[in-house]
Amino acid sequence: MHKTKFLDHVILLCGVFLMMAPVVVAFMTSTHDAVAVHLHGLQVTWGGHFTDTYKEVLTKKGGFTGEVTGARMVMNSFILGVGFAVGKVILSMMAAYAIVYFRFRLGVVFFWMIFTTLLLPLEVRILPSYEVMTKLGLVNTYTGLIVPLLASATGTFYFRQFFKSVPDELLEAARIDGAGPFKFFFDILVPLSKTMIAAIFIIMFVYGWNQYLWPMLMTNEEGFYTLVRGIKQILLVWVGSQIPEYNQAFALAILAMLPPVLIVVIFQSWFIKGLTESDK
């Protein structure tokens, strides 16, 4: 018994080490200055340049045009993450509502059409999507950044399953109480889906925050750069004898990691509730 317990902990500790070590190394490295990193490689000790590095990363105007700051990139990432998550929740909730509660012609066919788009991620349809966005003149806009990513089979599917678990009698009681489709949706279904909405929001926020390929295609003005893109940009400044600011790259990586981690940690209980239990 004791032996197993010990072994369990060893395995868990190995897991923790594997997961955490790179993060710790990245963080420690980001507190050294660029020269130290260049000379001695990755660091595992505290370098003392924490405030310098992070202040510079967040406020220094950088990039090719020298206009984009780290703070700006954080904001862009937030706009993308939140817009993406909110849009997806709204859209997939409405789609699921239509599929579950309305008998319309070919309803099932539509559901499966939405469902099969799971097999067609953005990467597959990236050229036509880009073409459409260009024609609409939405390159270098937040709209162009967010909208094409919104239609989501995952969200629709989650909400569909949830709505199906809501007892029919609730709908019937609401009908007798004089609630039409809108009222039922906003007065009954939305409040009931709260935990579900939270869970999907979290998943989608992280997903949106981490988008790389699409923002790279859709935005070429640096004012629209997201954090995830910014990291790469820093490493590209091989001008003359300049040393890449490795410490800043690591700082950006840490910054880019922080919001998703925080959101998951803070909303963890909601998240689990939403995905596992139906609050009825």
Q: Point out which residues bind other proteins (CB under 8 A).
A: 167, 169-170, 172-179, 183, 187-188, 191-192, 194, 279-280
Contact 144, 102 (CB under 8 A): no
CB-nearer residue toward other proteins: 172 or 221: 172
Of residues 39 and 176, the one with the C-beta less far from other proteins: 176
Please, what is the minimum distance in Å from the beta carbon of residue 103 to other proteins?
12
- Closest approach of Cβ 178 to other proteins, in Å? 4
Axis-axis angle for helices 70-101, 246-266 (nearest 10) = 30
- Report the residue number, 19 or 176, with the smaller CB distance to other proteins: 176
Instruction: Evaluate the CA torsion angle 47, 48, 50, 52 in order and state its sign.
Output: negative
- Least distance from other proteins to the Cβ atom of residue 162, Å: 13
Nearest-approach distance from CB 270 to other proteins, in angstroms: 15
Dihedral angle over CA of 184, 187, 188, 194, nearest 10 = 130
- Residue 180 C-beta: closest distance to other proteins, Å: 9
- For 71, 136, 196, 256, 276, the CA distances from 192, given in Å and listed in that order, are 37, 38, 8, 33, 14
Q: How far is the CB of 166 from other proteins (least distance, A)?
A: 9
Q: Where on the phi/psi map is residue 66: left (φ > 0), alpha (ψ -120 to 50), or beta?
A: left
Output the smallest distance, CB 174 to other proteins, in A.
Answer: 8
Q: Which is nearer to other proteins, 28 or 179 (CB)?
A: 179
In the complex with other proteins, the residue whose CB is nearer, 159 or 214, is: 159
* Residue number with CB closer to other proteins (131 or 187): 187
Beta-carbon contacts of residue 76 (< 8 Å; ≥ 6 apart): 224, 225, 226, 227
In the complex, least distance from residue 195 CB atom to other proteins, rounded to whole angstroms: 11
Residue placing its CB nearer to other proteins in the complex, 196 or 254? 196
Angle value at C-alpha 54, between 50 and 57, nearest 5 degrees: 145
Residue pair 85/152 in contact by the 8 Å Cβ criterion: no
Q: What is the dihedral of CA 174, 177, 180, 184, to 10 degrees?
A: -30
| Identity of the amino acid at 230 | G
Select 167 or 240, whichever has its Cβ closest to other proteins. Answer: 167
- Assigned token pair, 260: 């998703």
> d(Cα 128, Cα 115) in Å, to the nearest integer?
20
Cβ burial of 138 (10 Å; 0-12, 13-18, 19+) is middle
